[in-house]
Structure 1
């Protein structure tokens, strides 16, 4: 057995065992086992048979050592007793190490291992890079598992602000996941309602080389109205990348510091670039201001015609002054959502849209709609 003590050394007399010369002989006789210990490869059938035979011999030898130790216990041969204990501990460690060569996990096909890892990942939230979370735990088991983990770990949550070490780890994750479609979410900053724009600007620049792989993104835009609209408008012109314009799954939470300015829907919503995203399939948009009318750029087929999941919400800073999405706005959107399957929204108020005199059809049919949660 590779690097294991020799298990065929004769037991010459009670309490006297010598195995050091056997260790070197075993290393020379079985270099394959030593190589296996430093890889994730399964042993061949002949190697497995040899390992089992040698493990059986070693366990017998271990029993002899245990008996010899028991025979010397209570006597004054302390040095000899300590040497036997050292040899017993070394042999036990090597037996345990080489038992791992016979583990069924070594022979588990990669596709089955990948499916097991996928089942261990949650489907309702993204992981943070934490030593207690499943992907990191699995990646630390061995090199083979680490390689497989990076073929299935496609989502990550990034708290803001991010430390330099976390930025480096995420960049490593982006590289190691190779061609895997990616989903990222960003938290709001602390203290609560702090501006997110400086942090998002840096992250969007980091993600730009991987834009073709992005499948989903979720983030919070917090700041005053002009800061938010200017930031989103400049994303494409400054770095050539605005994820909202090209990612199939988008979730945006908008928290403006002056929520009762009625110009927000006219300035902020067009700046997002949603109306330019022909790949959009899932949209989750929440804001802390009224949506009383539909911006001209939203009153088109794109992006609505391809959307299958739509979640439109308003959130209140002050419960005494509720914010709403006007019913007329919602109906105009639904009129263009030919492929919608899931709908979750809060709406109220008039059916008429103030800046549009186009008549609303008497009937709006969404033939593919399967689930709707409506609050009025």
Structure 2
């Protein structure tokens, strides 16, 4: 019989009735046992599910993160902050995100001052964007007649007022810690200057000033990216403050409409900032640099970068006022032979180690080469280690013009000239 069953397994021949009855008898007991096993498995799966549910319910109580001491957890919170920029106030980004995890984390985050010492503030101004294009999700159009806009700006003003309230609450949480603040004014619209002129009501900027000025004495790093008129408002306010902790100032001015000579800016560029060491500006806000008020902030600077808008005469004045510089970076885009000739004194920079100068010729007046070469003649930097110059071929300093400079810079290890 076993041989018959074995042969049937190898073919598709139909089984006889006797074979069918035999097979049914053979399978009856295994099928009964299989049903028993399935029932046992189902029962065990139900037990497993109940056990897993119990574990899942209570296991979080044993989570290691619950047992992390608050001081260690707060340190971990610090590493959650962006490393390459200041955090903003979005709920999806730390530190605000940490306040939305649980009540314990929220309480710890809100009570940890160091977590709130940095902030990036994106901002708007009525003078730069027409009201009807101020809603967050509104499409930006290139062919818009901004002068026809008649929509009210009340929604913008209310939104910015609330944002400023949030900024003030944020900074209040920082306790007595030093602050790192960056402010960015959006100017993505090319508005008609006559209709939305720069003399527009500065209500929104006053909101922001009211929010941050009570904390001015704790500013450690301040970055402002704005049009000139907004900078003027901030500079006026800061010039009356004692910026005790301010160490680093970065200003990026952007204004496609106003000519520098038409500006009427405050003359105290840095305010009273005894700790200020590093200043970076994309250009000077006023060409009449001689009228800037001299104070101790200039003498304390160790790093100064002016990336656009300097004349050689301005560079020499700045270097003279900053004798303790370690690093200096200037971009010269114009020169005036007569004004530079008036500067006859050597500028002694005993601590200067790194000097970058980018020179661009605007005119081809007789004697320009001599004037440009004279820039190096008056700089005395005995500890200079690195000199990098960039300019056109006709502005390349001659060996004679650099001879005195190189003799004075006995520690110079690297010098480079890059033709533009």
TM-score normalised by L of structure 2: 0.54
Partner-residue secondary structure (3-state), 2:348: coil
Partner in structure 2 of residue 283 of structure 1: 279
Instruction: State how 1:129-144 maps to structure 2 within 5 Å.
Output: 129-144=89-104
Long gaps (5+) in structure 1: 1-66, 74-83, 315-323
Partner in structure 1 of residue 114 of structure 2: 152
**Is 2:317 the partner of 1:345?**
no
Partner in structure 2 of residue 295 of structure 1: 290
Instruction: Give 1 or 2 for the bigger CA radius of gyration.
Output: 2
TM superposition shift of 1:370: 4.5
Q: Distance in 2 between matches of 1:325 and 1:209?
A: 34
TM superposition shift of 1:180: 2.3
8 A contact 1:126–1:155 mirrored in 2: yes
TM superposition shift of 1:349: 4.0
**Is 2:311 the partner of 1:326?**
yes
Partner in structure 2 of residue 306 of structure 1: 300
8 A contact 2:217–2:241 mirrored in 1: no
Partner in structure 2 of residue 63 of structure 1: none
After superposition, the Cα gap between the structure-2 partners of 1:118 and 1:261, relative to the gap in structure 1 and judged at 3 Å, is closer
8 A contact 1:222–1:255 mirrored in 2: yes
Q: Which range moved further: 345-354 or 148-157?
A: 345-354
Moved over 6 A (4+): 243-246
After superposition, the Cα gap between the structure-2 partners of 1:263 and 1:244, relative to the gap in structure 1 and judged at 3 Å, is farther
TM-score normalised by L of structure 1: 0.60
8 A contact 1:292–1:353 mirrored in 2: no
Instruction: State how 1:12-161 maps to structure 2 within 5 Å.
Output: 70-71=42-43, 92-146=52-106, 147-148=108-109, 150-153=112-115, 154-161=117-124
8 A contact 1:275–1:302 mirrored in 2: no
TM superposition shift of 1:203: 0.9
Task: Spell out, residue by residue over 1:126-145, the C-alpha distance to the aligned partner (whole angstroms, 9 max, x if none).
Answer: 11112332322333233443
Partner-residue secondary structure (3-state), 1:152: helix
Partner-residue secondary structure (3-state), 2:227: strand
Cα RMSD of the aligned pairs, angstroms, is 3.9
After superposition, the Cα gap between the structure-2 partners of 1:97 and 1:308, relative to the gap in structure 1 and judged at 3 Å, is farther
8 A contact 1:294–1:353 mirrored in 2: no
TM superposition shift of 1:193: 6.3
After superposition, the Cα gap between the structure-2 partners of 1:140 and 1:261, relative to the gap in structure 1 and judged at 3 Å, is closer
After superposition, the Cα gap between the structure-2 partners of 1:109 and 1:259, relative to the gap in structure 1 and judged at 3 Å, is same
After superposition, the Cα gap between the structure-2 partners of 1:201 and 1:218, relative to the gap in structure 1 and judged at 3 Å, is farther
Long gaps (5+) in structure 2: 1-38, 125-158, 192-197, 360-420
After superposition, the Cα gap between the structure-2 partners of 1:223 and 1:309, relative to the gap in structure 1 and judged at 3 Å, is closer
Between Structure 1 and Structure 2, how many residues are aligned? 277
TM superposition shift of 1:178: 1.7
TM superposition shift of 1:184: 1.7
Partner-residue secondary structure (3-state), 1:133: coil
8 A contact 1:281–1:308 mirrored in 2: yes
After superposition, the Cα gap between the structure-2 partners of 1:221 and 1:360, relative to the gap in structure 1 and judged at 3 Å, is farther
2:212 to 207, 212, 216: 207
Q: Distance in 2 between matches of 1:343 and 1:115?
A: 36
8 A contact 2:224–2:251 mirrored in 1: yes
Task: Spell out, residue by residue over 1:60-82, the C-alpha distance to the aligned partner (whole angstroms, 9 max, x if none).
Answer: xxxxxxx9881399xxxxxxxxx
TM superposition shift of 1:350: 3.7
After superposition, the Cα gap between the structure-2 partners of 1:137 and 1:312, relative to the gap in structure 1 and judged at 3 Å, is same
Partner-residue secondary structure (3-state), 1:303: helix
After superposition, the Cα gap between the structure-2 partners of 1:215 and 1:94, relative to the gap in structure 1 and judged at 3 Å, is farther
Instruction: State how 1:185-334 maps to structure 2 within 5 Å.
Output: 185-192=182-189, 197-222=202-227, 229=232, 231=233, 235=237, 247-256=246-255, 258-262=257-261, 264=263, 267-268=264-265, 270=267, 273-287=269-283, 292-298=287-293, 300-314=294-308, 324-334=309-319
Task: Spell out, residue by residue over 1:7-28, the C-alpha distance to the aligned partner (whole angstroms, 9 max, x if none).
Answer: xxxxxxxxxxxxxxxxxxxxxx
